[in-house]
Amino acid sequence: MVEKTEPKTLYVSDLDGTLMRNDETLSENTVRIINGLVERGLDFTYATARSVESARPIAGGLKLKLPVVTRNGAVLADNATGKHIRKAVFTDEEVALLKSLLTDIPYCGYVSCFIGEEMIRTTMSGEHTVGLQGYLDYYKGDPTMKYMDSYDEMFCGLPGYVTCIGEKEEIEPIYDRVRAYDCWECIFQKDTYRDEFWLEICPKNCTKAKSLLKLKEDLGYDRLVVFGDSLNDVSMFKIADEAYAVSNARDEVKALATAVIGCNEEDAVAHFLEGRISEWESGTM
């Protein structure tokens, strides 16, 4: 067993571009190493911009005992079952404002809405950006991807997340429009794997950092160690006791890192964790 000496530490990794390889999978080696470490007592989870519904087909093989942070902190979920443990949604006033600002999203985006315990993603048929069409093609046949008959219906149930995908010149004007308001969080960045840009809008104070600080407090951890590669990892890098960037990370992330480790194609996070726990067990740390 991993020796439970103080300080009690929570280890958290981003998924895309960090724990995952460039083919959007977890290697068998990473899954094996992390599952073995968790079984020995490592307190590990992941934090991702993905929904748990999108993350589980990739990360479902991880036998995690802790909740996972999804939707950039908007949803805390169970990786084994996909159940939403805690979620944030937009207020009625925020939904009304979003609807007034985002009339072009049937062309470039979708809305993630909660209906009971189910999360659906809503868009409309018609012409789409190349980026959004690629996303829709990837999820063709997915029952949680819904095509609505009207713009208003895209904001059904309890809307909790808005995503726009396209070329920078297509999405940046929308980003400029919504970032003028401080009633939500906005992240605008190039996709990890492709050339298109993503704009993601979620309720205020829903960041990886805020969610991890809450998780750390609730579960009584003394320290937080994180791993990441992209702009949506910046918030958790700033509040962590140790923050490690993979070598393929953006320069802005590397600049905030305690150190830079190997790349996502080399199981860098898993090997780092393996080495860290070996040091604890041998008493060299």
Largest CA distance in the chain: 62
Residues 211 and 81 both lie in one domain:
yes
Residues 79 and 216 both lie in one domain:
yes
The CATH code of the domain that includes 109 is 3.30.1240.10
Instruction: Tell me whether residue 4 is in a domain.
Output: no
Residues 81 and 220 both lie in one domain:
yes
Task: Give the pLDDT confidence of 49-90 residue by residue, as tens digits.
Answer: 999 999 999 999 999 999 999 999 999 999 999 999 999 999
Residues 190 and 220 both lie in one domain:
no
Instruction: Calculate what percentage of the chain has a pLDDT beyond 70.
Output: 96
Residues 69 and 129 both lie in one domain:
no
Residues 101 and 172 both lie in one domain:
yes
**pLDDT reading at 285 higher than 70:** no
Domain end point (choices 178, 203, 228): 203
C-alpha closest to that of 114 among 96, 88, 139: 88
Structural domain count, the chain: 2
Residue ranges of alpha helices (H) inside the chain are 28-39, 52-59, 92-101, 105-108, 130-138, 168-178, 208-219, 234-239, 251-254, 268-282
Expressed as residue numbers, the domain containing 137 is 92-203
Instruction: Tell me whether residue 177 is in a domain.
Output: yes
Q: How confident is the model at residue 131 (pLDDT cuts 50, 70, 90)?
A: very high
Residues 118 and 160 both lie in one domain:
yes
Instruction: Tell me whether residue 113 is in a domain.
Output: yes
Residues 125 and 198 both lie in one domain:
yes
Task: Give the pLDDT confidence of 192-220 residue by residue, as tens digits.
Answer: 778 899 999 999 989 999 999 999 999 99
Determine the pLDDT at residue 280: 78
Question: Exposure string (b/e) for 226-250, b if CB count within 10 Å is 16 or more?
Answer: bbbbbebbbbbbebbebbbbbebbb
The vertex-258 CA angle with 226 and 46, nearest 5°, equals 10
Q: How confident is the model at residue 167 (pLDDT cuts 50, 70, 90)?
A: very high
Residues 199 and 163 both lie in one domain:
yes
Domain end point (choices 203, 222, 253): 203
**Taking the CB of residue 95, how many other CB atoms lie within 10 A of it?**
18
How many residues appear in the chain? 285
Instruction: Tell me whether residue 273 is in a domain.
Output: yes
The CATH code of the domain that includes 213 is 3.40.50.1000
